[in-house]
Amino acid sequence: MKALCILKNNIKNLDLEHIIFPLCAEVKYLEISKLLIPKNLKITTIMNPPFGVQHKTADRIFLEKAFSFSDVVYSIHLAGENVHKFILNYIKKFNWKVDNVLPFNMILEKSFKFHTQKTKKIDVNVYRFLKK
């Protein structure tokens, strides 16, 4: 929630409240109907889903939801050849493609009970997905 507060403050300070609408919701209950969105409105989703390390496939519902209403999706995933292959294969059924992959070193602070270190550096990729 700290990150969401920082984001909202930045949006307000930059006077972007009319074009950026941060959401924090339980993804399995999130429903946004493309039918209710004006055709000239383009939606970009930026998300950091669970990596699926603790619960395999945890990131899939985030991608599926974002693909259902977005025009562009940016999503952070663990770096690695197997993850990359999985993502490329998984998005095909939604008719999306990877437009860009940006490697990044992320520092995670201990925020869950299963975290064993105060901070941990992990290699991630930021994916940019576009509809085909």
Distance from the Cα of residue 93 to its chain's centroid:
18
Q: What is the pTM of this model?
A: 0.83
Instruction: Select from 68, 54, 69 the least CA-distant residue to 111.
Output: 54
**Mean pLDDT lowest for which of 50-54, 55-59, 81-85, 113-117?**
50-54
DSSP secondary structure string, 13-65? HTT-TTT-------GGG----GGGS-TT---EEEE----SSSSTTTTHHHHHH
- Looking at the domain covering 44-132, what would its CATH class be? alpha beta
The arrangement of strands across the sheet holding 96-109 comes to: 44-47, 72-78, 119-131, 96-109
**Distance (Å, whole) CA 104 – CA 107:** 10
Q: Which residue has the tokens 């990596």?
A: 51
Q: Give the domain ranges of the chain.
A: 44-132
- The pLDDT tens digits of the residues spanning 95-116 come to 999 999 999 998 877 766 766 7
Mean pLDDT of the 8-23 span: 91
Interatomic CA distance for residues 56 and 33, integer angstroms: 28
